[in-house]
Amino acid sequence: MKGMVNLLTHRSPRPVTLAIMDGVGCREEALGNAVSAAFTPNLDWLLANCRFRLLRAHGKAVGLPSDHDMGNSEVGHNALGAGRFYPQGARLVNEAVETGAIFEGKCWQHLVKYSFEHEGAMHFIGLLSDGDVHSHIKHLEAMLSRLAFKEKLQRARVHILLDGRDVGETSALEYVDRLESMLKSLRQQAGVDYRIASGGGRMKITMDRYEANWGMVELGWKTHVAGEGRRFPSAEAAIRTYRQEEPGIIDQDLPPFVIADEAGSALGPVRDGDSVVFFNFRGDRAIEISRAFEEKNFSHFERSPHPKALYAGMMEYDTELHIPGNFLVDPPHIEHTLGEYLCARNLRQMAISETQKYGHVTYFWNGNRSGKIDERLEDYIEIPSDMTPFEQRPWMKAAEITDKTVEAILSKRYDMIRLNYPNGDMVGHTGVFQAARIAVETVDLCLGRLIAATRKAGGILLVTADHGNAEEMYEIDSKTKTPKLYPDGKIRAKTAHTLNPVWFIVYDPTGDDCIAFNPEIGEPGLTNVAPTIMQLLGIEPPEIYDPPLLLFKEQC
């Protein structure tokens, strides 16, 4: 096997516990760094007393188009669980758009035909940004241009979800202006009627995940489909009005709005005979709205109205449950995950997090597969998340996650435990530095409890992250290396993920195995974690995996 090292065969510690500090990256600069500013005695002790390496958690290392693309929780957990990278949503959609394959596919042709046959409009719903985490505005632009000039469909409506999370926190008008300019050009050059119809912040409507708040999806349905809500003459007017009414509000939290025509009627509700494309490529925040459009026995809210519209997603968001039924680009087909290998060897596993990241240690870890691999051997534990804004409760449910994990470690029932602390990511996205610092300190406090339990049980603790976030909380000017400022002198908060590496720390309380890292592996990434876990469990990683990271006693 490429890069293979000797396996730990004389002692197989139980359990091997993987703690994922979501959104906690490694960055040397202290400016805007909530991780280095936090009081983290346990993380500091691990770094001073244990062997560790930095792992790549962004760009091509996790299957994204380029190394300018920041990592995210979806691709990060795919990589952690799969042992090698797969081309991910952004890259797959880019290729489909560039080659034209997306427009030659049966799904696109069916959507267009349906709209023509029923004299309907085509609607596009999705996140309007170039963050390249959930969506990219260029994909929307390509579809609108194709529809206007090639398909010559007369009417299209765009329902925009405002980002402020994977891009600048108040950058919405940049993307609205860009889209409005294109729509105006299409109206003038192709003679079509293409307009923005509705919108709202991504954390207010439509983009809920893991069934944490179906009310968001219901509000999105009323906004996009029914055309109900506060009305404005334009998206720009809505955004500016909301900002004036609530100074300091960021894009992801903007209330919903509906664009009205000159008569005051909603410009673009979804009607019978229309077709709908949800143009996000990432799955977690696209599944619930897809279910609302497609599920026959839907019971989470009243769909009023419930038009007879043809719906499709950019991708198949759940490959196990086949959600949605229609999709434009085939998703990555991830198989032979770590979970599958461990189940095949009758090894017991536990996965745990709170609602915000529960799907990441289950669905994404298992290669975008819902449900358990083996009911007999796996326990999945979801701690319900609070509905309170994260900056107001930066500790989130870390203590409860730790309670269950410590109990599991000491029980010695499991061979492998994986857990996710969402704090660094979810609180980091708020842009509130003080809250992010407390979030990191919370996770550190919990690490201390995991260290103690691991020592008592004689297991091994691995500490890593899926991407960075909290270590870079300010927008930094690349030339002056100082924080960017708003006109009023306030520092511009950075709410997006980062390009920074993450730690991979190995805590072996016995020290018997003299665990060291293999220096021959030059730039390891998240994909090296799964084969390394197999090493520690005394299992030879398969040839298809990236090489494991460790050397053992006889090689130290």
Give the active site residues: 73
Burial zone of 278 (CB within 10 Å; 0-12 exposed, 13-18 middle, 19+ buried): buried
Q: Which of 118, 122, 164, 168 is nearest to 146 (CA)?
A: 122
User: In angstroms, how far is CA 192 from the centroid of its own chain?
Assistant: 35
Rounded to 10 deg, the angle between the 137-146 and 172-190 helix axes is: 10
Under DSSP, is residue 194 helix (H, G, I), strand (E, B) or coil? strand
Could you write out the three-class secondary structure of 309-354? CEEEEEECCECCCCECCCEEECCCCCCCCHHHHHHHCCCCEEEEEE
Q: Per the structure block, which two tokens stand in for 49?
A: 């007393």
DSSP state of 493: B
Amino acid letter, 105: G
506, 51 in Cβ contact below 8 A? yes
Distances in Å between the Cα of 483 and the Cα atoms of 44, 130, 411, 494 are: 27, 22, 48, 10
Largest Cα–Cα separation, the chain: 81
Amino acid at 418: R
Give the DSSP H/E element, type plus range, for residue 102. Answer: helix 101-104
Strands 16-21 and 416-421: parallel
Residues 6+ away with beta carbon under 8 Å from 211: 288, 355
Measured CA angle at 257 (ends 254, 259), to 5 deg: 145
Segment holding 209, helix H or strand E: none
Closest CA to 206 of 136, 266, 159, 276: 159
What is the spatial distance between Cα 278 and Cα 127, in angstroms, rounded to a whole number?
A: 9
Tokens linked to 179: 């889209």
Q: Is-cis flag, bond preceding 305, omega within 30?
A: yes
Q: Report whether 503 contacts 466 (CB < 8 A).
A: no
Which strand (E) or helix (H) includes residue 403? Answer: helix 398-411
Chain position carrying tokens 């979800």: 161
